[in-house]
Amino acid sequence: MANSPAATIYFNSLKDTPIGEIWLACSERGLVAVEWETNRAKLLDYLTRRLKMSVEENPHKLTKIAQELNEYLAGERRQFTIEIDWSWMRPFQREVLLATFAIPYGQTSTYGKISEQIGKPRSARAVGRAEATNPMPLVIPCHRVLGAAGKLRGYGGGLAIKKWLLQMEGTVLA
């Protein structure tokens, strides 16, 4: 079935990044998770609970993803070319995160603008919830989504990291 999720999830970590250790996970179809402020046991629990698939450590499956993330965090990459496995997301979350994925490097949007963009103009709070549960921050750049009037709002990695990422991208904050 074309939209059924892949059977195995592969994971590994990037050590010594500017924001700490980053855990990555992918299926045969593409990236499924980017996590930091966690550990191996919590990641495995999250992956098996959320995706209900077998999980295997395999750094070779994540080589391109790791390379692109390292380049991004070093300020050398503005756009990701890696595949993303959207198949296991709920339709609304997928719609919101596809709109978020399209926000260019160095630019921002707001929860309200994204709700209008996806044709649900009164759903800014629901957009915020979808962003808050983004399983692939950095790659799906939810740090580029701001509150009304361009204010910094919550971020899973903390507001200090959100601000650092935006400044790294050259975004001027109000």
Closest CA to 80 of 140, 165, 9, 170: 140
Mention every residue, 6+ apart, whose C-beta is less than 8 A from residue 129.
none
Distance CA 124, CA 4 (A): 29
Does 142 participate in catalysis according to the annotation? yes
Residue type, 86: W
Mention every residue, 6+ apart, whose C-beta is less than 8 A from residue 63.
none
Beta bridge pairs of residue 36: 22
Catalytically annotated residue among 31, 34, 65, 142: 142
Closest CA to 5 of 61, 84, 68, 102: 84
- Token digits of residue 25: 């996970």
- In the chain, where does DSSP find H-type helix? 40-51, 63-73, 91-101, 111-117, 124-132, 159-168
Residue type, 96: V
Active site residues per annotation: 142
